[in-house]
Structure 1
Amino acid sequence: MAHRRLRSPLAVWGFIAVVYVAARLLTTGLFWIAAELSGPNSRFGADATIGSLALGWDGQWYWLIAVSGYPTELPVNDAGVVAENGWAFMPIYPYLANALGTLLGGYPTGALVLSLVAGYAASVVLFFLLRKRIGDVAAVWAVVFFANGPLAALFQMGYAESLFLVWLLLALLALSKRSFGWLYLLIPLMGYTRPGVLAFALLLGLYGIVRWFRRRADPLPTRQIVHIVALGALACAVGFSWQVFAAIATGDPTAYMETELAWRRSWVGPEEGFVPFSGFLTATAVWFGLWGLPEALGYVVLGILVAAIAGALLFAPAVRKLGGEVRLWSASYLVYLLLVFFPQSSTFRLLLPLTPLAGAVAVPTSRWWRIGVLVACIAGQWWWIHEMLALGDTYYRIP
């Protein structure tokens, strides 16, 4: 029946609002339970509240940036290497949240309202991105899974993820419609909200290659070639510009890279440098060593996982239905993570930009399948809130 109720954009916004509000009420209840379970060993302490959970961890960094800006002198730890600092976080979310806070009574309110509204907007855009590929009913279910998913707590936290998703999903929608002009605005918005715009640059490169080889069946005018090349260059420029800004502000050309490595070095020591792909290889050895398993087995598991994901993106019928833009983005973002990321507990959060793949899970028409997926989403959400917020007491319980 969803396709009959969603014939107008206003009906879409209203229907998804009902879905989203219901999901946020559920998450609020889970937050309340987590606050009650928070004990003296938790980062939040025995007197945790919904508000303290919502503004913890990276939310504190964004708040600090909104109030104090970025450091002009990099902090160092006892080992004499650069310590964690605000240059790891992009400026649009904290500054926009702070601006809202001046109207709403303070930064915490502004940050939470911004995350809530952005999560709703992302839900709406996700529906429009998927509906022509998988139909209204499946697109609605994809939104239901998204709004109630394992990472849905982020829509009620002082994190930039939901705002980044708005820009990303709008960019994918614009690309699917070949409305290239919008991307000149959306790419900088993505790039200065959260790291990841270099993955979009890779997407544009792959998109241009695919369009070139298919140009006889799908004409590729010169004007579109110019847009694709220019937008790819813009995404690269935006992606690397933050390193330049950090270098200028601090007088240290390695400021941004050293800042990012500060989080990794707490796992592997102060001598760790950056080499593409090394993060996943090093982390595989670290994790399998902690689990008492052979490192070689970890590399085999990593290889099998990469091959399985690549196979799903290339051949899985439900994924193929989502369209080339979504599949190319998913592949590009996963390659980006393999290149630069050191996987630990925040890996779950960093997978949120793969949200459009929720459409593939929604494609099967069995009612019991969809109900089962929804139950799994809510169970996963509670697990994430419980582990990362209610407990939050060890290095592997970091959002």
Structure 2
Amino acid sequence: MIRSKIKLDIFKNKALVVTVFTVLISVLGQLLFVRFASFNIEKIDYGNFVLLQTLIAGMSAILLQIPSHSFDRFYNAAPKKIDFINEFRTILLFVNFISIVLVFLYSQIIDKFTFTTYALLIILFMFLNNFTLNQKVLLFNLERGKFFFVKVSETFSKFVLPIGFYWFEGTLESLFFGMVLGYFISNVLILSFLRGTPFSIRFNIENIKKYFTFSSPVIFMAIFTWGISFSDRYFIEYYLTTEDVAIYSILAVVAGIGVVIGQIYFMYVEPKIYKAYEVDKNHTITLLNKYLLNLSGIFIILFVFVTLLPRNVFTLLIDKALIDQDYYYFTILVLIMSVFLGVVHTAHHMVFKLKKRFDLLAYIYLIAFMINMCLNFFIKESGIIMAGVSTLISYASILILQLCVYRLIMKSNT
């Protein structure tokens, strides 16, 4: 009995170590990219790159939330995993077709980009969708070793190859071409790992109704999330300049390094919680609350630590001329705090996922979205720091409302 427990503990520690290294590889790639962007990419190119990535995030918010959340929630309960996976692969075929229509409509409104850029954007979106779905299979099967290699491949796709192509070509299109090539290679790799789940068309009307009923509120929640997290780029573009979009995005990416803790949390904790919930619901909720409390404590300690760091530390990634200005320094502190709050309130979503109460989250996000939109209008007078402040206040309101609503849910169940 003792020996088996020791083996189990070793396995758990090994899984955690692999998870940490998986996240660190991605973070290192992101740090490399943001340093390159800060010193080597023209601000106009990087600003436009960010705006188009924001478009991809918006399409994901509209098109991918029902498939993504339904896949997460029902995967462990599916009796035939291959049929279940192929149902969602089939759904992605429709999603990819709709993405072509949306990008075409966007190109008719925003005509500042070339046909090649929009074509690359569509291909990237398709590759990214299929990659994201297939990597979930490895994660939920707890195949962390294979998942590690897949994430390494994704790091090259998102960060290393775009740097290489921009270094030689120096154009906006070269950034996207590097990502497209990278995600093509990553899809080939992940499909080689999933040879046991060959693709087939699976279309089950009853299941689609079930998925839609479960996750339909998430569409609104995702749109509101996109508005809170990314719409400020378009406000900055409208009220200020594309170069200011680039500067704000660089500061946001550096601040986003705090997400590393969140990524470790989501990759290590969430698959375990989903699996445990099918066995013992009450114990799983108690365990989840403990994880959330620990996560919040870690972020409080980290923020205090960041405020004590000398500014010169930031010059490793950000132009010294920027970070030496109090305005940009305080902007990045606001963004770091908003990132920490964002991870905590997103982690708290799982309580609502397990209780199947996405409808309540949608109302919460609507309130936060309205707050964010109103505050973003002050970007014209206050500059990019107001974009960070509006996001911070919105995330704080989401967390407070989630905690209040969750308490009401628990009281009603007692």
TM-score when scaled to structure 2? 0.29
| Structure with the bigger percentage of helix | 2
TM-score when scaled to structure 1? 0.30
